[in-house]
């Protein structure tokens, strides 16, 4: 019998006791690159590590760490990839148990050197060789930050920022043929389940995607693989990034319009908005959606989901430009939809085509 650490809120059996994302660790070849980006995204620097050149930024319950420590795994990672996400942490209810179980199932341990009086953070080799930490100290006042970091004086330790509370999902890009390997990694070690598979075809390129969800229902990891023979967007990312890794991180808000306004005021650059035709087609695509189309259009926010049978399941989303090398961010608000905006790929494609027809570039038969 395997030990059951399943919690009442779990979606299905949770043998690792997963409980959401804890932090993402970043690095860059030289300091000063990531800090202004995190501020644009609504984060505040709240603490510095007691002995290492490591700082903690926070917004809502999202922790971003910048590791500028020389000769660390982060430094080597940055040398290879440029500015990047070089580590990832999952919350688990008991890190010793989870770590032992991961190794038993074939995970590769990664030793992160610690200074005196510092916590030893168990980690296994994750995406792109980056450490995947297993953290059980995340209770307020007893967290890893309370022990290894010093909070800045007078700083709000739980800044609201732009209203983003949690990481909704974190998409990985992997080499062609490697999606199954990475799906097995998360399935075997953590009991993730595939909730969606899609094959998205543009006119010339395409991508395959497997969306995995953890048993706690809060860690969502879609895996993307290039579907075309040529240099589609996944291939381009892998070349720019110099390997497999985190392509984008999505933050969830309860009020995306308000969050967007705050990001805009900070000067964040968003991806090019869709053509007007996208919004003209909204009512046709999602009849009775009830969202303020003009407000969405003004901001370039996309809408996806379904309104079938009057049951509204919607998702609002928008993306930043690439901000950290080829890595970008997504901002979303879920209204009962648990997808990733798949419908928008097709809708964007069609709205651009309609726009081309209107401009006479493409002749409609
Ligand atoms: Fe996404």
pLDDT digits (tens, 9 = 90+) for 216-231: 999 999 999 988 777 7
Please tell me the predicted confidence (pLDDT) of residue 204.
65
pLDDT tens, 104-137?
Answer: 999 999 998 887 778 889 999 999 999 999 999 9
Neighbours of ion ligand 1 (CB under 5 A): 250, 330, 340
- Report how far ligand 1's centroid is from the alpha carbon of 157 (Å): 28
> What whole-number distance in Å separates Cα of residue 23 and Cα of residue 167?
9
- Report how far ligand 1's centroid is from the alpha carbon of 155 (Å): 31
Place 203 in a pLDDT band, splitting at 50, 70 and 90. low
Q: Does the pLDDT value for residue 92 go beyond 50?
A: yes
- Report how far ligand 1's centroid is from the alpha carbon of 141 (Å): 32
Count Cβ atoms within 10 A of the Cβ of residue 89 and give its class: 0-12 exposed, 13-18 middle, 19 or more buried: buried
Please tell me the predicted confidence (pLDDT) of residue 1.
39
Specify the pTM. Answer: 0.93
Share of the chain above pLDDT 70, in %: 97
Cβ atoms of 14 and 215 closer than 8 Å = yes
Please tell me the predicted confidence (pLDDT) of residue 365.
62
What are the tokens at 111?
Answer: 């030793």
- Report how far ligand 1's centroid is from the alpha carbon of 220 (Å): 10
- Report how far ligand 1's centroid is from the alpha carbon of 80 (Å): 25
Q: Does the pLDDT value for residue 359 go beyond 90?
A: no
- Report how far ligand 1's centroid is from the alpha carbon of 53 (Å): 31
Please tell me the predicted confidence (pLDDT) of residue 330.
95
Q: Does the pLDDT value for residue 16 go beyond 60?
A: yes
């Amino acid at each position: 019998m395997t030990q059951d650490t399943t919690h009442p809120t779990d979606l299905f059996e949770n043998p690792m006791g997963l409980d959401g994302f804890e932090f993402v660790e970043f690095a860059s070849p030289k300091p000063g690159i990531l800090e202004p980006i995190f501020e644009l995204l609504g984060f505040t620097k709240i603490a510095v590590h007691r002995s290492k050149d490591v700082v903690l930024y926070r917004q809502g319950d999202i922790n971003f760490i910048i590791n500028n420590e020389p000769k660390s795994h982060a430094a080597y990672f940055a040398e290879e990839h440029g500015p990047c996400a070089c580590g990832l942490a999952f919350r688990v209810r008991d890190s010793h148990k989870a770590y032992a179980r991961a190794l038993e199932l074939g995970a590769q341990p990664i030793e992160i050197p610690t200074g005196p009086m510092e916590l030893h953070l168990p980690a296994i080799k994750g995406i792109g060789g980056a450490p995947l930490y297993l953290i059980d100290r995340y209770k307020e006042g007893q967290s890893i930050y309370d022990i290894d970091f010093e909070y800045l004086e007078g700083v709000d330790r739980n800044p609201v920022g732009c209203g983003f509370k949690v990481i909704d999902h974190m998409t990985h890009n992997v080499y062609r043929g490697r999606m199954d390997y990475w799906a097995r990694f998360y399935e075997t070690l953590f009991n993730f389940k595939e909730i969606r598979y899609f094959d998205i075809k543009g006119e010339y390129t395409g991508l395959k995607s497997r969306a995995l969800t953890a048993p706690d229902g809060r860690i969502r990891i879609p895996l993307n693989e290039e579907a075309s023979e040529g240099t589609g967007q996944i291939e381009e990312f892998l070349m720019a990034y110099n390997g497999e890794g985190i392509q984008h991180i999505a933050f969830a808000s309860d009020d995306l319009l308000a969050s967007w306004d705050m990001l805009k005021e900070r000067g964040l650059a968003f991806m090019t908005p869709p053509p007007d035709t996208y919004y003209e087609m909204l009512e046709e695509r999602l009849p009775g959606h009830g969202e303020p189309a003009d407000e969405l259009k003004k901001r370039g926010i996309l809408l996806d989901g379904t309104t079938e049978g009057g049951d509204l399941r919607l998702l609002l989303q928008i993306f930043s430009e690439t901000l950290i090398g080829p890595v970008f961010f997504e901002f979303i608000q879920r209204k009962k939809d648990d997808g990733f905006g798949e419908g928008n790929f097709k809708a964007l494609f069609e709205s651009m085509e309609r726009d081309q027809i209107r401009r006479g570039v493409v002749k409609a038969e």
